[in-house]
Amino acid sequence: METTTRRIYIFDTTLRDGEQSPGVSLNVQEKLEIARQLARLKVDVIEAGFPIASRGDFEAVKAVAQEIEGPAIAALARVNERDIDRAWEAVKHAARPRLHVFIATSDIHMKHKLRMSREEVLEAIRRGVAYAKEHCPDVEFSPEDASRSDLEFLCLALQTAIEAGATVINIPDTVGYATPPEFGRLIAQIRQRVPNIEQAIISVHCHNDLGMAVANSLAAIENGADQVECTVNGIGERAGNTALEELVMALFTRRDYYGCRTGVVTEEIYRTSRLVSSLTGMPVQYNKAVVGKNAFAHESGIHQDGVLKERTTYEIMNPAMIGLVQSNIVLGKHSGRHALRSRLAELGYTLTEAELDKAFQRFKELADRKKEISDRDLEAIVEHEVRRIPEKYILDYLHISSGTRVVPTATVGLKVDGRVLEEAACGEGPVDAAFKAIDKITRIPVCLKSYSLNAVTGGKDAVGEVTVKVEYQGRIFIGRGISTDVLEASARAYINAVNKLVYEIGEENLQYLSEATNGGR
């Protein structure tokens, strides 16, 4: 008989550690959109950001704290009063606020980064946790680089934090150095050596530098950890963090072994993965466990035969468990608004009338080019075309002249404040030419940092999904666009990035190129 009595709490740090992935920059609205989905996923804690880091981080944490209901909302702070005050100011509006304070405890960090003695670090923990406790009843403490810390000193630091009021003790493998047996033993030793450990929940935060973050987290659970800090798709600094979807589905699929359960609604996993991938501009690798494109694909004839006869021969998870469902409704150019609304609802999207109008318009445009519209096409429409910030620039038309023996030339028309502006430009290729023509119209000096193209679906009429990252004065802005025409998708993605830039920086704060300057790239 299955025993799933032990509850594991899921602490999601996609909006904090996940956003620290190189090249990722989310605005407040995008963070709110992810937070809403995390609430639907029913994670236990959302770490919304590091408020002292920037004004934008502060505003994002505050917005999430004010709007999101259900999960506890955590804000990160170092163990000093200035950080803690700023974090509390941002998170105090939450129905269930948490302050997450940290300081390093490994000799290498204390010596080279903090330049503090062990006694000074212990005193900082005592003062910092106690100060946080004065503001918030729920305080989490993390000894940074715990897995490389001296065990005796680490246990003393944890004891000190609990005495000062910490309700959660988090053990980070900050640089992904530990192996599963080592990390499991560390948790077991902490339980044995910290005299007041029963007064706090043990949490773990593992990095994936050696590809063992999920394995280390599972080893920690086996040895008494009750909370795991993770991110959607495993994104995060360097090689990332424990992947939420892998951890949750490992516990569910092997509940016979672990005897644990989470409160996560697994049917929301796939859509959460897609949303985070879309908004961060970080594609999910095809062979990624649980949510990768090939996770439930079977090419071998033997495997295909087995799955057709009995799914469990080669599938240990039902795709429907993570929200991968196949609809019997076929949508095409003759489909109406009701059919579209119904299918989007099945996919988990609840749109306002204005959003549905926009989705229906883009759906019809796409249906004129494709015989059938797939679920992935619909997801792309909603994620890339509907839920957008106000648009200063709107693509009106795009003309491309290109070939092996001609200079690629693009003519672009953009609607700007109710009128259409047109420019033409030559480039190294048709995409480059289109971007240069757009630059001529906007006159905003951006630098293209990356460009990626993926096919949303298969076939000759596949929808192309383009993601671009542009830089303006040291800040990165991510743009996305879709179309059956990859050149159009490219132009839409570039315009989307520029619109985000204008929205976040503000037109009054922008520096424009002179009229005579031919583009800013």
229 vs 12: CA distance, rounded Å: 6
- 482: number of Cβ within 10 Å: 25
Q: Are 493 and 420 in contact (CB under 8 A)?
A: no
The pLDDT value given to residue 303: 43
In the predicted model, residues of the chain with pLDDT beneath 50 are 1-2, 298-304, 307, 328, 519-520
For residues 451 and 465, what is the distance between their CA atoms, to the nearest angstrom? Answer: 11
Fold held by 393-509: Double Stranded RNA Binding Domain (3.30.160)
Phi, then psi, of 461 in degrees rounded to 5: -100, 25
pLDDT for 377: 80
Supply the DSSP symbol for 331: B
* Separation between Cα atoms, residue 226 and residue 236, nearest integer Å: 22
Euclidean distance between CA atoms 77 and 141, whole angstroms: 10
Please report the pLDDT score of residue 1 as a whole number: 39
Full DSSP string of 203-272: EEEEB-TTS-HHHHHHHHHHTT--EEEEBGGG--STT-B-BHHHHHHHHHHTHHHH-EE----GGGHHHH
Amino acid occupying residue 127:
R
The Cα–Cα gap between 219 and 189 comes to 13
The structure tokens 């990624």 sit at 288
Sheet holding 475-483, edge to edge: 447-455, 464-472, 475-483
Q: Please enumerate in sequence order all residues whose Cβ is within 8 A of that of 509, keeping only pairs 6 or more positions apart, or say none.
A: none
CA angle 215, 218, 224 (to 5 degrees): 145
CB of 98 within 8 A of CB of 141?
Answer: no
| Tokens read off for 488 | 């159009």
- pLDDT of 109 reads 95
The pLDDT of residue 176: 96
- Tell me how far apart the alpha carbons of residues 274 and 279 are, in angstroms, rounded to a whole number: 9
120: which residues sit within 8 A by CB, 6+ positions away?
none
Contact 47, 15 (CB under 8 A): yes
Q: Give the pairing of strands 227-230 and 260-261.
A: unpaired
What kind and span of H or E run contains 97? strand 97-104
Burial class (CB in 10 A: 0-12, 13-18, 19+), 59: middle
Instruction: Determine the Cα angle at 190 with ends 189 and 192, to 5°.
Output: 65
- Cβ-contact 411, 485 below 8 angstroms: no
Is residue 440 within 8 Å of residue 414, measured between CB atoms? no
- Model pLDDT, residue 330: 61
Strand-pair partners of 455? 464
Rg (CA), the chain: 25
> pLDDT at position 314, please?
55
Q: Are strands 419-426 and 406-416 parallel, antiparallel or unpaired?
A: antiparallel
Reading the block at residue 349, the tokens are: 């999207």
- Kind and range of the H or E run holding 221: helix 213-222
Q: Is 320 helix (H, G, I), strand (E, B) or coil?
A: helix
Smallest Cα–Cα separation from 183: which of 153, 211, 152, 225?
A: 225
Q: CA-to-CA distance for 288 and 243, rounded, in angstroms?
A: 10
* Count of other CB atoms within 10 angstroms of residue 437: 26
Residue ranges covered by each domain of the chain: 6-280, 295-323, 337-386, 393-509
Token pair for residue 151?
């065990």
Which of 71, 4, 61 lies closest to 38 in space, CA to CA?
71
**The predicted structure's pLDDT at residue 159:** 98
How far is residue 54's CA from residue 77's CA, in Å, rounded to a whole number?
12
Euclidean distance between CA atoms 13 and 142, whole angstroms:
14
Identify the pLDDT of residue 309.
55
Provide the pLDDT for residue 273: 94
Q: Quick one: pLDDT at residue 329?
A: 54
Query: DSSP per residue over 450-498, as a string?
Result: EEEEEESS-STTPPEEEEEEEEETTEEEEEEEEESSHHHHHHHHHHHHH
The model's pTM? 0.83
Cα 476 off chain centre by: 16
Provide the 3-class DSSP secondary structure of residue 501. helix
CA distances from 435 to 308, 400, 426, 506 (A): 48, 12, 10, 21
Please report, in angstroms and rounded to a whole number, the separation of the first and last CA atoms in the chain: 64
Question: Residue written as tokens 């770490």?
Answer: 47
Residue 142, C-beta contacts closer than 8 angstroms, at least 6 positions apart: 100, 101, 102, 170, 171, 172, 205
CATH topology of domain 6-280: TIM Barrel (3.20.20)
Closest CA to 41 of 20, 14, 61, 19: 14
